[in-house]
Amino acid sequence: MIHILYEDRFILVCRKLPGILSQAGPGPNLPELLEEAYGGTVYPVHRLDRETGGAMVFARTRPGAAALSEAIRQNRLRKEYCCVARGVPQPGEGIWRDLLLHDKARNKSFVVQRMRGGVREAELDYRVIAAEGGTALVRVRLHTGRTHQIRVQFASRGTPLLGDGKYGGGGGPLALWSCLLAFPHPKTGEEMLFRDFPSGGPWEIFEEALQADFSDDSKRQNS
């Protein structure tokens, strides 16, 4: 059963589970599952890595997909993630800017030192929410959407994400989740905001801290 956060005639906002593709492809994928459950066609406008879970929005009409894609181009689709890192990033908050090269043959990204063919700029900001047992719960906001961006930027600084075997984080489920999604509604223009939180596994010791931090958003914004 797919967990739906919101639906109307124009959009579906749902929780993507780890292990499911966010776009059409071989094996279980969210567009096909949504179409089977709700009928009609859904249109992906953004993606999550197969191993990543959390909130996603799909358009239910072609004009809606075009409007959401335009919002992305205008940087009006806000995506925030939570992750658990091995080690504690230093300083406790900041902005990371890197040059990333994605090796399609190996499906792996690398931080490089100079611009050349295939290299793209990557930027995110982060804030450590809590730390315990040599791991840290971190909140991340993406400013660019590069392949494996969060995973490689954390790994390049010696704090790979827990469970990220590709980038040195060891085995187990990948501790990366799409926790917040905000965008203008493709029909009405109303600002839509959705939160979705992981539970269990690597998140268990941080669940209260995670939800408390997101609930404090309005206090920080008004201070």
Residues labelled catalytic: 49
Alpha helices (H) along 101-216: 149-155, 207-215
DSSP 153: H
* Reduced 3-state DSSP string for 50-70: CCCEEEEEEECCHHHHHHHHH
Tally Cβ neighbours within 10 Å of residue 118.
Answer: 11
**Secondary structure element (H or E) that encloses residue 108, with its range:** strand 108-112
Q: Give the span between the Cα atoms of 40 and 35, in whole angstroms.
A: 6
Question: In Å, what is the CA distance from 89 to each residue of 124, 139, 192, 193?
Answer: 13, 11, 31, 28
DSSP 164: -
